[in-house]
Homo-oligomer: A and B are copies of this chain.
Amino acid sequence: MECLPAKGPVSPHLPFGDQRSAPFYGKDILSVKQFTREDLEYIFGVAHEMREMVARVGSFDLLKGKIMASLFYEPSTRTSSSFLSAMKRLGGDVIPINEVRYSSVSKGESLPDTVRTLECYVDVIVLRHPEVGASALAARYARKPVINAGDGVGEHPTQALLDLFTIIEELGRVQGLTVTMLGDLKYGRTVHSLAYLLSLYGVKINFVSPEILKMPADILSQIEEKEITGAEFTDLDQALPETDVLYVTRVQKERFEDIAEYEIVKNAYTITPETLKAAKEQMIIMHPLPRVGEISIAVDDDPRAAYFRQMEYGLYVRMALLAMVLGKA
């Protein structure tokens, strides 16, 4: 006997019983590195269909009867709300487990045991965990698909996918664009993962950061192996005019030993209506949110401000991934 129908190679319920017809069925979503460019195109195609369906009918019953566990070992309202909405707009349901700190974990239970118990009740597990590699560990033991919703400083693959999907939906393509990443490029897993995905396309990336928060060398060398051009700056001024996508991240005070240096960087990197005068009219501004002053609220009404729309694109990407791993896309 086994815990409910498990993740397997191909579902007998799929129209053709063919691996290619459901390439992610039963698979885990753990890292951006698992995707080829072909995979990305497939995912974004499904996500685009989700967008059209939501615009037309709001919700529909593709995953009716399916249950997702939302297992969050640390809080992330934004990510969990997005996954909950994704599952519910597909007609599925959710078991939210947000207080893991108070639960059996505090009685000393291992992550594999928690996952092996939970999967008896659900069809897919979305896991947020403060430790790098937690999702991979969970996936090793789970018979149901595991989706990594962030594992510490490790990965947050659905964030990177939604970032890329935002670019495609807003600008119609990725190939040939100039993407400028601004802020803390050293510690931000978001920009690391996005840089990797962009490297699968022919793009130019500008890295704009203070000296102490530069993109790590190993990530630079990884992407330089691919078909991309990279350039590093400390000032935004030089990079901005040619930029198609300005990806802003927060610079945290705690990273600086010298507060005066932080203040300089903070002011230089704040996006205001003034900043945008030097930018292209078709440029988009992205931000993983929450923002705390990196982008002036006076920018919010500029049509180039794409960061709230970015949240919505996240919904469609997560709908696509859930449908795919459950064999329904």
Q: A residues engaging B (CB < 8 A)?
A: 1-5, 54-55, 57-60, 64-67, 69, 75-78, 81-82, 84-85, 88-89, 93, 95-100, 102-105, 107-109, 112-114, 116-118, 120-123, 169-170, 289-292, 297, 308-309, 311-312, 314-315
- Nearest CB of B to A14, in Å: 15
With A3-B308, A65-B57, A104-B77 as known contacts, state yes or no: A82 contacts B121, CB within 8 Å.
yes
The CA-CA distance from A3 to B306 in the complex, in Å, is 11
B-side contacts of A85, CB under 8 Å: 67, 95, 121-122
- Nearest CB of B to A65, in Å: 3
Judge whether A121 and B315 touch: CB under 8 Å. yes
Which of A66, A99, A117 gathers the greatest number of chain B CB atoms within 10 Å? Answer: A117
The CA-CA distance from A290 to B98 in the complex, in Å, is 18
The CA-CA distance from A66 to B122 in the complex, in Å, is 20
Jot down 20 A-B pairs with beta carbons below 8 A, ordered by A: A1-B309, A1-B312, A3-B311, A5-B55, A59-B65, A59-B67, A65-B89, A67-B88, A69-B81, A76-B104, A77-B97, A78-B117, A81-B97, A85-B95, A85-B121, A88-B95, A99-B99, A113-B289, A117-B289, A120-B311
B-side contacts of A66, CB under 8 Å: 58-59
Partner of A95, one of B55, B81, B292, B308: B81
B-side contacts of A75, CB under 8 Å: 99, 102-103
The CA-CA distance from A311 to B117 in the complex, in Å, is 6
Top 3 nearest A-B pairs (CB, nearest first) are A59-B65, A85-B121, A109-B290
- Nearest CB of B to A85, in Å: 4
The CA-CA distance from A24 to B262 in the complex, in Å, is 49
- Nearest CB of B to A172, in Å: 13
Judge whether B97 and A99 touch: CB under 8 Å. no
The CA-CA distance from A77 to B115 in the complex, in Å, is 12
B-side contacts of A105, CB under 8 Å: 77
With A85-B67, A102-B75, A103-B76 as known contacts, state yes or no: A108 contacts B309, CB within 8 Å.
no
The CA-CA distance from A97 to B70 in the complex, in Å, is 13
Judge whether B4 and A312 touch: CB under 8 Å. yes
B-side contacts of A54, CB under 8 Å: 4
Who on chain B is nearest to A116 by CB?
B308
Who on chain B is nearest to A3 by CB?
B312
